[in-house]
Amino acid sequence: MKKYLPALFACGLALGLARQGHAQQLAQYSQYMNNNYILNPAVAGTEDYIDLKFSYRTQWTGIEGAPKTYYASVNSSLGRLHTQNKRTLHDWSRGFHALGAIVYSDVTGPTRRTGAYGSYTYNLSLTRSLRLAMGVSVGVQQFSLDGSQLQFHNVNTLVANQASMVPDATVGLWLYNDNFYAGVSSAQLLGNQLDIAYDPGTRLLSNNKLERHYFLTGGVRLPLSEDVSLVPSVLVKYMKPAPVSVDFNAKVKFRDIMWLGASYRYKDAIVGNVGVNFSDVASLSYSYDASTSEISRYQNGSHEVILGLKIKKKKKVVCVDRFW
C-alpha cells in the first residue's frame, strides 16, 4: 500500500480535489502564530524591525511522498514613528505603509506547488492604543506534476509532465495593540482553475479549482508575573466544502527570551513547540505534531522549524518591539 501513497496524496491533497476529498488545498503550518504574515498580509509592518523568516516543514514522516514545505518571508513598515518611550499623540495617530513578500514550495510526492507574492498594507490608528491594518497580497501560483513518479497497477500507464500557472491574491484585516491581536483573511481569492487534467479514457484529475480559504485568528498576552506571561490564541480555518478546522494554542513566555507551547488541532493533531530569541537579532523555533487521526498508524509525526532574523531600523520606528 505504501508504494501507492505518493500518487494518492498527490492527487487527493496537493492538487486539492476538495470537492471529492474534503481536504484543504494550502499547506499545513503548526507555527503560524510565530509568523502570522503567512496567513494574513495585513500583519506586514506591525513590528519595529524588518522581519525575515525561513521555514521548513516535513509532514507525516515515514510515509513515502509525504508533504514537505519550504518558505521565506520578509515584511517591514515604511512609515516613521517615534519609539514607545518618545511617542506623542500626534505620532500615534499617523497612518503608515508596509510592504512584504513571500515565496514558498510545497512538495507532495510527484506534485509541487510553488508561489511568489508581494504585499501592501496600510496601518491606521483607531484609538490611543488600538490600530487596524488592511493588507492585500498578489502573486502567482504554479502547480506541476512529474508524471514519471506516479505508480499504477498497470505499469504501461504513462502520465506526461504538466504544469499550470495562475495569478492569485489574498486580502486581510489585522486589529491589534501591545497585548492583543485579531485578524481575518481570505486566500486564493481569485478562484482560478488549474489547467491540468489526465484523461486516457478514465478521468483522474478534474475540478482543479483553487478554492477560497478563510482564516480567523486571535490572541492575547496575559502577564503571570514580572518575567512570565501566557499567550493563548486560536485559529479557525474554512474552505468549502471541507469542514471547519480549529486550532487552539497556548505558550508560556519567559522574559521575551524563550517560550514553551502546545496546540490542539481538532480531530487532527497535538503539537508541542519551543522557541528561543538570541539577543535582538535572531530566533529559532521547533514544533512536533503527533497525529490523532487515523493516518497516525502510517506515519511518525511532523516536524517544523522556523529561523527568524530581525534587521533593526534606525532611531525612529513604527511600533514597539514585543515578542509574541
CA 21/CA 221 separation, integer angstroms: 38
- Give domain status of residue 321, yes or no: no
- Give domain status of residue 140, yes or no: yes
pTM of the model: 0.85
pLDDT at 241: 84
CA 235/CA 253 separation, integer angstroms: 20
Reading the block at residue 238, the C-alpha cell is 474554512
Query: Is 137:119 a contact under the CB 8 Å cutoff?
Result: yes
Q: Would you give the distance in Å from CA 253 to the centre of its chain?
A: 22
- Give domain status of residue 317, yes or no: no
Pairing of strands 213-220, 180-187: antiparallel
pLDDT digits (tens, 9 = 90+) for 92-140: 678 899 999 999 999 998 889 999 999 999 999 999 889 999 999 999 9
Burial-class residue 154 by CB neighbours within 10 Å (0-12, 13-18, 19+).
exposed
- Give domain status of residue 320, yes or no: no
pLDDT at 207: 60
- The CATH number for 110's domain is 2.40.160.40
**Domain total of the chain:** 1
Look up residue 309 and give its amino acid. Answer: L
Residues of the chain with pLDDT under 70: 1-23, 79-92, 150-159, 197-207, 313-324
- Give domain status of residue 67, yes or no: yes
Q: Give the ranges where the chain is alpha helix by DSSP (H).
A: 5-9, 18-21, 89-93
pLDDT at 118: 98
pLDDT at 138: 98
* Structural domain of 11: 2-312
pLDDT at 321: 45
pLDDT at 10: 45
Annotate 15-43 with three-state secondary structure. CCCHHHHCCCCCCCCCCHHHCHHHCCHHH
- Give domain status of residue 106, yes or no: yes
- Give domain status of residue 324, yes or no: no
pLDDT at 204: 46
pLDDT at 124: 93
pLDDT at 91: 58
pLDDT at 82: 44
3-state class (DSSP) for residue 294? helix
- Give domain status of residue 48, yes or no: yes
Query: Is 142:160 a contact under the CB 8 Å cutoff?
Result: no
CA 149/CA 159 separation, integer angstroms: 9
